[in-house]
Amino acid sequence: MNAVITGWSAVSAYGFGRHAFTEGVVSGRATAAPAMEGAPDTHVCWVPDLDPKNILDGKGIRHLDRASQLALATFSELVEPGVDTGERAGVVLGTTAGSHQVELDQIRDTHRNARPHHLAPKQVASGTMNCAAAQCAIRFGIHGPNTTVAGGRGAALHALGYARRLLAMDRADSVIVGAVEEATFARAWFTHAAGTRPGQWLGEGGAAFRVEPSGTSRPVLAEVLGIGTRLALNVREGHLPKPQVGEGGLHDTLATCVREVLARAEVSPSSVHAVVGPEPEGLFKDLADVPDLSFMGDTGSVSSAYAIVTALGVLRLPGEVVLVTSADPDGAVACALLRLGNSRSDHDG
Amino acid sequence: MTAAAVRRVVVTGMGVVSSIGIGLGDFTEGLRSGRIGARRATSFDVTGFPSELVGEVAGFEPERWIDDPSRLGRASQFAVAAAAMAVEGVDLDYLRARRALISIGTTNAQSQDVDAIATTAVLDSPERMDPAIARRVTSQGIPNDIARSLGLSNVDSYVIGTACSAGNYGIGDGVDAIRLGEADFALCGGADAASRRTFAAFHRLGLVAPDACRPFDAGRKGIITGEGAGVLLLEDLESALARGAHIYAEVLGYGLNCDGVDPVAPTRESVARCIRLALDDAGVKPSEVGFISAHGTGTKTNDITECNAIRDVYGDSPPPVVALKSMLGHAMGAASSIAAIGCVAAMNDGFIPPTANHREMDPECAIDCVPNAAVSAQVDIVQNNGFAFGGDNAVVVLGRYDRSSR
């Protein structure tokens, strides 16, 4: 069974929906805006005008963590009742760690309130990583497998691999795969302290795409030819990051991962027309230009989801093979080899 | 594709860190004797809370399995130690030459690390957060730490963050990856560390029992939060036989679904459907199941909903339904993976573990919970339930490898 992708959506610093994403990414506009109070940086690449009142019917959204709000906004443009709903439809949603902001707020409550367990009651359900995926299931009626995959920058690629197995084992007829990440005071400081986004503003957003078995009646935006993952073993020495070059470093490990996927899919490097994400050095020639996604800031787990929907919606390479890659500072590398379909995906224009 | 057409998946290693025992032998003895893991919490400050009991891991010596434990958060230490136990005796070069899935379920990931830097941020200044701790609060660090500790680079390594059923999700993930030939072996299960924030959240929901966890009991008052890790080494039957591995059990199948109804309360029909999905995937009839390891949290809602869902599938005479959380506490994302290991240990040693702390059966539950003392029994097949906030259900079915009916 080969998996195919038949739809996508995105909420980003360029705004809501496919059109805003495509237009913004192609423009290469900067998106940074003044940061939240007390942040370690002066700017953050916000999703502009994220307003709980405008998400679905607006009811009960305000109390959710921002990541869950972003997930619901992202799903709103993609979910088709009857296709993406019911017992045979699934959700596999990537994240780095859910909402660190809820965790920080709750820790503050444990220290500041009269009793340590006097947490804000409406925030408790947002305190687990699966809140966003579960909210999508509840609000849209998606009763099949519902899995949260925490995987750093490559989360959407790990999630795609997981979803492909669900389909291969006939556990679902279709799966919405994606990732969400929130820009909050807590994530700004945690990533700042960790030093994992040197020189980058904090970013946020959500992206999702529908994965189905090949043979679907819906137009195919891309066929998944292969997925690869590896872990670089030489990125941490004690508490300090090591240079990312050389054997066991991120770059070499990504190159190994990519070569393995190409070999398994029996695709030669010369057939790859574009790479979205970090490019393994020396493997490819004459690649097509790909827009720079860094204008949306460090979007964490969403960066790999944005890379995939960029391949689907922004690149104009019908029928060609595109490689999507990711490399996380903690060592995980991942890639997906896609053959783009001949369908146009920006059908909302 | 049906389960029958694909590779058979067997358990060839098990590592467990729990409040009632560390390592398979100690843990199994704890289960058999009905040992209670609840104790006054020491790994975080319980001053001011309505209770102080936690199913905390005691006597854990991480340096037995980890070269420099101070580099790892508590959840990672549990996970790495459990993984090391699971691969004990296996040639690491054999594993390094093969493709692996490392899929670890968790509710709160590096909870104590997050608590630590969040506390610095709110009581002192975010500028004084420890960078070393900040670097390791990404959830994926847990399976990555397992891979690094074993020198495994050819891996797909991530966390399943599906809260309190995540351990079963991890096991199911490993099963599918091996069935499909995407992985030669899997290290899967779950890990969680008790923390101040988790303790506060369950207290806020009114779900923490003041004295003991009493699943199915008329006087039950909730959970005892807990911690630990359960990691299973899974591989396909042929490779296990070829390398002469000891086979503890076969994972016959699993099922997963989502209530999609309520953020907190479970749904009877959906839980029943998940049980049916698991039994179908395993090719097992309800009459073949020797006992059910319940999610069995000891909350009012869970236990009634779960017992009703079991009767929906099994009829009015289900097999014994036991709740290991009565002994272990609720180890969150680790809970169902520790329970799965407990199921295998019990099958192999010929007993059904008890539901501890039991006084009087709730007539709305009305099952045989094997109260307070293990019973001897020859059991071939066990069903292991895991449910989570958000309505995320996962049920795993395990069988003795040498059972007669295979």
> What is the least distance, in Å, from the CA of B118 to any CA of chain A?
5
Provide the mean pLDDT of chain A: 94
Q: With beta carbons under 8 A apart, name residues in chain A contacting B200.
A: 106, 109-110, 116-117, 119
> What is the least distance, in Å, from the CA of A117 to any CA of chain B?
4
CB half-sphere exposure, A130, CA atoms < 13 A: 35
Q: With beta carbons under 8 A apart, name residues in chain B contacting A138.
A: 260-263, 390-391
CB contact under 8 A, B122 and A112: yes
Q: Is B128 an interface residue toward A (CB < 8 Å)? A: no
Nearest residue of chain B to residue A131 (CA atoms): B390
CB contact under 8 A, B197 and A169: no
Q: Is B283 an interface residue toward A (CB < 8 Å)? A: no
Average pLDDT score over residue span A116-144? 95
Query: For residue A217, with 0-12 CB atoms within 10 Å meaning exposed, 13-18 middle and 19 or more buried, which class applies?
Result: exposed
The yes-or-no verdict on residue A12 having pLDDT over 80 is: yes
Q: From residue B287, give the alpha-carbon distance in Å to each of B8, B313, B345, B354.
A: 22, 10, 21, 21
Residues B163 and B25 in one domain: yes
Q: Which residue has the tokens 């099963």?
A: B175
Confidence band, pLDDT 50/70/90 cuts, at residue B406: low
**Closest listed residue to residue B329, CA positions, set B10, B51, B18, B103:** B18
Confidence band, pLDDT 50/70/90 cuts, at residue B128: very high
Residues B284 and B233 in one domain: no
CB contact under 8 A, B257 and A100: no
Among partner residues B122, B169, B258, which is closest to A104 by beta-carbon distance?
B122
* CA atoms of B163 and B192, how far apart (whole Å): 10
Q: Is B135 an interface residue toward A (CB < 8 Å)? A: yes
Confidence band, pLDDT 50/70/90 cuts, at residue A241: very low
Nearest residue of chain B to residue A39 (CA atoms): B126
**Last residue in a domain, options B242, B272, B301:** B242
Alpha helices, H only, A94-214: 100-112, 131-140, 155-168, 185-194
**Last residue in a domain, options B242, B266, B298:** B242
Query: What ipTM goes with this model?
Result: 0.97
**Last residue in a domain, options B242, B259, B289:** B242
Per-residue confidence (pLDDT) for residue B402, from 0 to 100: 86
> What is the least distance, in Å, from the CA of A97 to any CA of chain B?
6
The yes-or-no verdict on residue A239 having pLDDT over 50 is: no
Q: What is the DSSP letter of A123?
A: G
Q: Which residue has the tokens 């999507």?
A: A324
- Answer whether B54's CB lies under 8 Å from B41's CB: yes
CB contact under 8 A, A195 and B135: yes
Q: With beta carbons under 8 A apart, name residues in chain B contacting A236.
A: 135, 148
- Answer whether A100's CB lies under 8 Å from A187's CB: yes
Average pLDDT score over residue span A227-253? 74
Q: From residue B244, give the alpha-carbon distance in Å to each of B9, B14, B318, B339.
A: 15, 16, 37, 26
A222-340 carries CATH number 3.40.47.10: yes
Q: With beta carbons under 8 A apart, name residues in chain A contacting B196.
A: 107, 110, 116
Query: Looking at the domain assignment, is residue B92 inside a domain?
Result: yes
Among partner residues B115, B132, B179, which is closest to A107 by beta-carbon distance?
B115
Q: Is B264 an interface residue toward A (CB < 8 Å)? A: yes
| Torsions phi, psi for B54 (to 5 deg) | -140, 145
Q: With beta carbons under 8 A apart, name residues in chain B contacting A229.
A: 155-157
Q: With beta carbons under 8 A apart, name residues in chain B contacting A111.
A: 119, 122-123
Query: Where does residue A49 fall: left (phi above 0), alpha (psi -120 to 50 degrees), or beta otherwise?
Result: left
Residues B127 and B230 in one domain: yes
Element containing residue A228 per DSSP (H, E): strand A222-231
Q: With beta carbons under 8 A apart, name residues in chain B contacting A147.
A: 160, 162, 169, 256, 392
Per-residue confidence (pLDDT) for residue B262, from 0 to 100: 86
Ordered DSSP codes for B98-163? S-EEEEEE-SSSSHHHHHHHHHIIIII-GGGS-HHHHHT-STTHHHHHHHHHHT--SEEEEEE--G
> Which two structure tokens, joined as six digits, stand for A195?
């030093």
Residues B233 and B375 in one domain: no
Query: Looking at the domain assignment, is residue B3 inside a domain?
Result: no
The yes-or-no verdict on residue B208 having pLDDT over 60 is: yes
**Greater confidence, B21 or A125?**
B21
Among partner residues B115, B204, B259, which is closest to A117 by beta-carbon distance?
B204
| Torsions phi, psi for B258 (to 5 deg) | -135, 130
Fold of A3-213: Peroxisomal Thiolase; Chain A, domain 1 (3.40.47)
Query: Looking at the domain assignment, is residue B199 inside a domain?
Result: yes
Q: Where are the domains of chain A?
A: 3-213, 222-340
Q: With beta carbons under 8 A apart, name residues in chain A contacting B396.
A: none
Q: Is B117 an interface residue toward A (CB < 8 Å)? A: yes
Provide the mean pLDDT of chain B: 96
Residue B131, domain extent: 9-242
Residues B238 and B279 in one domain: no
Query: Looking at the domain assignment, is residue B217 inside a domain?
Result: yes
Query: Looking at the domain assignment, is residue B2 inside a domain?
Result: no
Q: Give the residue from A136, A146, A164, A259 with the most B CB atoms within 10 Å of its CB, the best one to mutate.
A: A146
Per-residue confidence (pLDDT) for residue A198, from 0 to 100: 85
Per-residue confidence (pLDDT) for residue B2, from 0 to 100: 47
> What is the least distance, in Å, from the CA of A49 to any CA of chain B?
26
Residues B197 and B297 in one domain: no
Residues B286 and B234 in one domain: no
CB contact under 8 A, A233 and B154: no
Average pLDDT score over residue span A225-242? 76
The yes-or-no verdict on residue B300 having pLDDT over 90 is: yes
* pLDDT tens, residue by residue, B240-268: 999 999 999 999 999 999 999 988 888 99
Between the CA atoms of B336, B341, B347 and B349, what dihedral angle is there, to the nearest 10 degrees? -140
CATH number at residue B211: 3.40.47.10
Q: With beta carbons under 8 A apart, name residues in chain B contacting A151.
A: 139-140, 158-159
**Closest listed residue to residue B385, CA positions, set B289, B282, B293, B320:** B293
Query: Looking at the domain assignment, is residue B1 inside a domain?
Result: no
**Residue A120: how many CB atoms within 10 A of its CB?**
15
Residues B193 and B299 in one domain: no
Into how many domains does chain B fold?
A: 2
One-letter identity of residue A245:
V
Query: Looking at the domain assignment, is residue B152 inside a domain?
Result: yes
Residues B308 and B268 in one domain: yes
Query: What is the Rg, in whole angstroms, of the alpha carbon atoms belonging to chain B?
Result: 20
* pLDDT tens, residue by residue, B23-56: 999 999 999 999 999 999 999 999 999 999 999 9
**Greater confidence, B383 or B3?**
B383
Nearest residue of chain A to residue B70 (CA atoms): A238
Q: How many CB pairs under 8 A join A and B?
A: 262
* pLDDT tens, residue by residue, B314-352: 999 999 999 999 999 999 999 999 999 999 999 999 999
CB half-sphere exposure, A336, CA atoms < 13 A: 29
Q: Is B300 an interface residue toward A (CB < 8 Å)? A: no
CB contact under 8 A, B200 and A117: yes
The yes-or-no verdict on residue A240 having pLDDT over 80 is: no
Residues B182 and B260 in one domain: no
Query: Looking at the domain assignment, is residue B41 inside a domain?
Result: yes
CB half-sphere exposure, A125, CA atoms < 13 A: 20
> What is the least distance, in Å, from the CA of A45 to any CA of chain B?
21
CB contact under 8 A, A87 and B273: yes
Residues B109 and B256 in one domain: no
Q: Which residue has the tokens 């039994």?
A: B279
Q: Which residue has the tokens 């240990």?
A: B345
Nearest residue of chain B to residue A138 (CA atoms): B260
Residues B203 and B311 in one domain: no
- Answer whether B359's CB lies under 8 Å from B384's CB: no
* CA atoms of B60 and A334, how far apart (whole Å): 34
Per-residue confidence (pLDDT) for residue A236, from 0 to 100: 61
Q: From residue A201, give the alpha-carbon distance in Å to each of A146, A186, B77.
A: 31, 14, 32
CB contact under 8 A, B137 and A239: no
> What is the least distance, in Å, from the CA of B210 to any CA of chain A?
14
Element containing residue A174 per DSSP (H, E): strand A174-181
* pLDDT tens, residue by residue, A21-62: 999 999 999 999 999 999 999 999 999 999 999 999 999 999
Alpha helices, H only, B234-391: 237-242, 268-282, 300-314, 325-328, 335-349
> What is the least distance, in Å, from the CA of B396 to any CA of chain A?
14
The yes-or-no verdict on residue B1 having pLDDT over 50 is: no
- Answer whether A233's CB lies under 8 Å from B151's CB: yes
